[in-house]
Amino acid sequence: MSTPGFHQRIRFSINGRIVEREVPVRQTLADFIRDALGLTATRLGCEHGVCGACTVIVDGASVRACLMLAVQADGAEVRTVEGLAQDDELSPLQKAFLDHHALQCGFCTSGFLMTATDLAAHGAGSNETEIREALSGNLCRCTGYANLVDAIAAVLKEQAAKRE
């Protein structure tokens, strides 16, 4: 165990790229991603876990980047919305968001996409009530939720059909 300090060197992977930096231990993962790495699609709304705008995926599970310290990501695999598209090909969820008009100002969109990516990766059902419950931790102030639910349901349905 290293001695307690105000700074620590960390190394982790973000969207498949390895980064190694010294970070102030008080810096949140969200601030590190935005300010140090310049990946500004991860948004900060409330900074206390309520709005979901900062949701990213750490080691396969969606988490609030405002409630994790950057130093805690040491050794982890982090995915942000910038990592969803493959060679400029949008992910199925991103495409569905476009097709279903699931965004307006876009402030909440990255958070919703990361939550939905976690759902899709864990084989969630496409039942509307379940999707609504799963989205309860993400707030959108302009679109209303109907188009978001439709977009995500369409992708989960297609996924389920492929599995059969």
Partner 1 sequence: MKPPNFLYARPDTLEDALRLLSEHGTGAKLLAGGQSLVPMLNLRMAEPKLLIDMNRVAELSGIERENGKLRIGALTRHRALETSREAAQAEPMIARAAREIGHLAIRNRGTIGGSIAHADPSAEWPLLAVALDARVELRSTARTRTVAAREFFTGPFTTAAGADEILTAVEFPCAPQQSGFGFQELCRRPGDFAIVAAAGRVRMRDGRCIGATLAIGGADATPRHIAEIDRIVAGSRGEDAVVREAAAAAARVLDPSGDIHASAEYRRKMAAVLVTRALREAFASVAANS
Of 134, 90, 88, 114, residue with least CA distance to 30: 114
125 is a contact residue toward partner 1 (CB under 8 A) = no
In contact, 10 and 69? CB cutoff 8 Å = no
In contact, 93 and 113? CB cutoff 8 Å = yes
Q: Which one of ligand FES, partner 1, ligand FAD, none interacts with residue 71, CB within 5 to 8 A by kind?
A: partner 1
Q: Residue 68 Cβ, how far from ligand FAD at the closest point, in Å?
A: 11
Closer residue to ligand FAD in complex, CB, 50/105: 50
50 is a contact residue toward ligand FAD (CB under 6 A) = yes
46 is a contact residue toward ligand FES (CB under 6 A) = yes
Closer residue to ligand FAD in complex, CB, 125/137: 137
- β-pairing, 7-14 with 77-79? parallel
How far apart are the C-alpha atoms of 94 and 107, rounded to whole Å? 14
